[in-house]
Structure 1
């Protein structure tokens, strides 16, 4: 596998990867093969469960076995990981070759460990959050339901990233660990692999399109026999998103938009093919860097951003600053922007969970319809009267 030496992220996503590094764990290795005497071979007739937007994974059925292939566990991955999901009642009659799959999981799963806050909304929507028994850095969890389970001791604290407490995980003995990784290296999880715990990658964060990220709810569904429910949930999100996108086209103006802020001496704006840029396009905004090809972020000097973006009508996600005072304390040049003078700066980092986790980075990937409505309500207030934004808040 190839390690990533350089990773770039969009204006919204730069903090996202830093944020997720704390909770991510990379999963590598193979699980053992389930074999029984006189076992029947799997019916190789394959039925594809098509995805409409997500590009980082595929699902297909081979008889009673579901095969999930993850081709984008992290940006630039050259390996596709293959997982076989076998109904528990069929274990005695199904034989699978261990060298074909990276993990073999008996379903439905009754307890699992997850490693990214983006996993929580999908499991909660599917009604299987009770199955989660462990999570690294639980303070980052925002979901009230999940937070209650943490306080009750039902979701155990597992440490952070490569410092994940493997002893606790082994004591929990989960049927499955769902991991997040930025490359193929994590020594802590090699220990779990060698212990025979099934490990799978989830690459939801690598998707560039809003609906592509949301469609990863279908990744979780087969582990719990919730395929039909996942389809229903996603179809509703898709319908609401496309309806909002159509509504935005009724706007008579396209407000100009600036994104991002300074990190040390570099200003990171969202690339033209990034997640944020897609939201702004669908919200019928004039994003000033929409003509760039980058899928991640673009690092610019303050002078370059001032030259192109000083007159932008709206400014989204000025780093993690929550007030105009914080902006000025960070850099006095911020007041040269029109959006600063007109108090048109909005942040997705203001709404936090009980212990400081950012709601946006947990829920927004699963609910792009809410993100788009937020942006439309801000950029075209007449189209969604009396709408209260879910994620974005004006700076104080």
Structure 2
């Protein structure tokens, strides 16, 4: 399951060439009728532009979309840490196989809109829900990680199956089910070449390698390209962006509030740098901490004593742990009791929305809905700016 600003538990304590058969004239009449209803091309015109609505990418830097007449090119610059750029040809269903330029030789060809999608990361699920194409989802990596009610209902109904419980991808199952596409969780898996050789395209989905709240949220446009929902994707993202900017403006003129961010993990405290997604959110919420001016996009590894010396006096501590009470926190490490935020009870944990099987919606919906996360943070740091705010992800630890 993906993390918001860093996938490690230490963070903020917060394909083979595939020619997919097009909807050909030889297909049964009922099948062609269904394809037309789904938005497929029924009478191909090589001079026509079949993408009247085109996505513009303004924040995300780890993916791009380029449009041709009958296909799009989705490029993921870094599909996993250190991975080489990968491009995928998204061919409008009903169009003949295109003559691809040399630069796309060997690129997977995926017929769109896809009809069956396997999702390895829970961060992809809210995008599918937001676009209103939940029926396309047929598989999730580990169902226990899923917290969203809409997807959980489909899991319980048997419409969505798990394919990677215990982090072990069931290659035989995926090949048997033959989804139109599998979206990775931004890591390379030794099973992927086998899937690609079996005709199942795998897209290296790595929104977490984009830095910035709105950059991650903008991956809805990549999902819109796969599902034929470009217009809806632009609308949803536009609303998120507008709300984010509106909420951030409320905190812009307020005095900065010192905070402690994160917690220890195996003896190391990963403090998010100011250029990271976490750093941006804390700054936009009106918070300040020792690494806030660090332009790096990752995190700085420190120990308890170092963090205590620079940030320990802060009256507010932000974490993302399983803790429910202060006792849980101090049981994890007795030194936490020395923090003023613990003494005054101002410890806030992003675990308010835990699903029935333990999934945390903060890691799921929160990743691509930063406006909601930002509103929670402003309510913590500047409660007077958002009176009556109803928290979505954060809650205060009990005594």
Structure 1 length-normalised TM? 0.87
The counterpart of 2:171, out of the listed 144, 166, 169, is 166
Residue 27 of structure 2: aligned partner: none
Moved more, 80-89 or 48-57: 48-57
Residue pair 1:10, 1:297 contacting (<8 A) in 2 also: no
> Which of 41, 63, 82 is matched with 1:57 structurally?
63
CA 242–16 in structure 1, closer or farther in 2 if over 3 Å, else same? farther
> 1:220 corresponds to which residue?
223
**CA 1:269–1:134 in structure 2 vs 1: closer, same or farther (change >3 Å)?**
same
2-structure distance, mates of 1:164, 1:384: 44
Q: Name 2:274's counterpart in structure 1.
A: 272
- Write the distance in 1 (CA, Å) between the matches of 2:253 and 2:360: 32
**Would you say 1:193 and 2:196 are equivalent positions?**
yes
Find the counterpart in structure 1 of residue 78 from structure 2: 72
1:81-92 matches, within 5 Å, as 81-91=86-96
- Cα drift, residue 292 of structure 1: 2.5
**Deviations for 1:300-342, whole angstroms, at most 9, x for unmatched residues?**
1111111112201211016443321011112111111111111
User: CA offset at residue 351 of structure 1?
Assistant: 2.6
| Contact 1:352–1:359, Cα closer than 8 Å, also in 2 | yes
Q: State the number of aligned residues.
A: 372
Q: Secondary structure at 1:58's aligned position in 2?
A: strand
The residue number in structure 1 matching 2:345 is 343
Alignment-derived partner of residue 328 in structure 1? 330
RMSD across aligned C-alpha pairs, in angstroms? 2.7
d(CA) in 2 for partners of 1:131, 1:322: 36
Change (3 A) 1:34 1:174: closer
Per-residue CA distance 1:90-146 (angstroms, 9 max, x = gap): 13x634469625310111111111110000000000011111111111100011010
- C-alpha distance in 2, partners of 1:255/1:220? 37
Query: 5+ unaligned residues in a row in structure 1: which ranges?
Result: 1-8, 18-27
Q: TM-score, normalising length from structure 2?
A: 0.86
Q: Deviations over 1:74-95 (max 9, x none)?
A: 2333x2111111111113x634
Confirm or deny: 8 A CA contact 2:10 2:263 kept in the other structure: no
Superposed, 1:199-214 pairs within 5 Å as 199-214=202-217
Q: Distance in 2 between matches of 1:122 and 1:302?
A: 37
Q: Is the 8 A contact 2:10 2:270 kept in 1?
A: no
Structure 2: 5+ residue runs without aligned partners?
A: 25-43
